[in-house]
Structure formats: C-alpha cells, structure tokens
Amino acid sequence: MNETQNASMMPKLEWDEIFATGIDRFDDQHKVLFGFINVLRTNTVGKRNKEVVNEVVDSLLSYTMTHFLEEEITLCRLEFPGFADHKSEHDQFLMAVRDLYIRFKAGKGESRIIAAEIITVVSEWLQGHILVKDKAYGEFLLQHHFTPDMVK
C-alpha cells in the first residue's frame, strides 16, 4: 500500500469532546484544522484536484502557524508553566512539516504522495498534541479567565 492509498483510507477526522480543551477559541481552531485535513484527504485520491490540494496545503500550513502563535502568545502572557515545552513541541513539528512543504512546492517527488504524507504526519501529530499538550493548558487558562483579547 502506498502513502496515497494510506491517506485516502484513513478514517475521517471527526472532532469529538475528547479533544476539548475547554477554551472555545482554540477548540474552534482545532475543528478548522481537522476540516482542512479532511478536505485534503478527499482530494488526494485520483489525479484531479491538484489546484485544490495546493490551496488546501497552503491554508493548512498558514492556519496552523497562526493557531500556534495564538496559543503561544496566550501561554506566554499568562505565564503558563509549560509554555517553553509547549512552544518547543510546536517548533519541532513545524520544522518537520516545513521540509515536507518545501518538497511539495518544489516538485521534488509526486505531489499527491507528498500531500498524503503531509496529511498523515499532520493528522497524527495534531491529535496526539491536542490530547496531551493542548488539553493540559485548558484548565489553567480557565482559572486565569482567558478571553480572546489575550491573543491580540
């Protein structure tokens, strides 16, 4: 089985209460990220939709960066004890995804296969990160009366 088949056979990434951090703003952003992954997954099947794949990969990456920054600004502002560790996990992930993104954009390899690899890497990492690291800040932010203004 190749990467493309793998990605197309992955179950749809459904947001569920299990992923809830308790912070609506970030939960909503996680839902958007899941949505991008699902659109990508659907569009990597077959040779059509190359433009859609290209657009969604761009959106997924830029939205992920914005989301990470918002979390980091909030955690830094409220002096969350796990801030450095949280940011470092984001940074390591972004480095790995940037490499895939560069290969995808530079046309180094079959784009559908790289797109499928991006889906697999992002989808697996994101679920694990939300379940452990993002959920860990939820209660802290609630105790510190988080408001969306704090990311500005």
Residues in the site for Fe ion, rule: CB under 5 A? Answer: 71, 134
CA distance 91 to 36: 20
CB of 85 to Fe ion, least distance (A): 10
Query: 4: part of which helix (H) or strand (E)?
Result: helix 3-9
- Of the two residues 51 and 79, which places its CB atom closer to Fe ion in the complex? 79
CB of 124 to Fe ion, least distance (A): 14
CA distance 23 to 146: 8
State the residue number with the nearest CB to Fe ion: 134
CB of 123 to Fe ion, least distance (A): 14
- Of the two residues 3 and 134, which places its CB atom closer to Fe ion in the complex? 134
- Of the two residues 109 and 128, which places its CB atom closer to Fe ion in the complex? 128
CA dihedral (74, 147, 34, 118) in degrees, to 10, reads: -20
- Of the two residues 3 and 19, which places its CB atom closer to Fe ion in the complex? 19
CA distance 24 to 1: 38
CA distance 4 to 143: 44
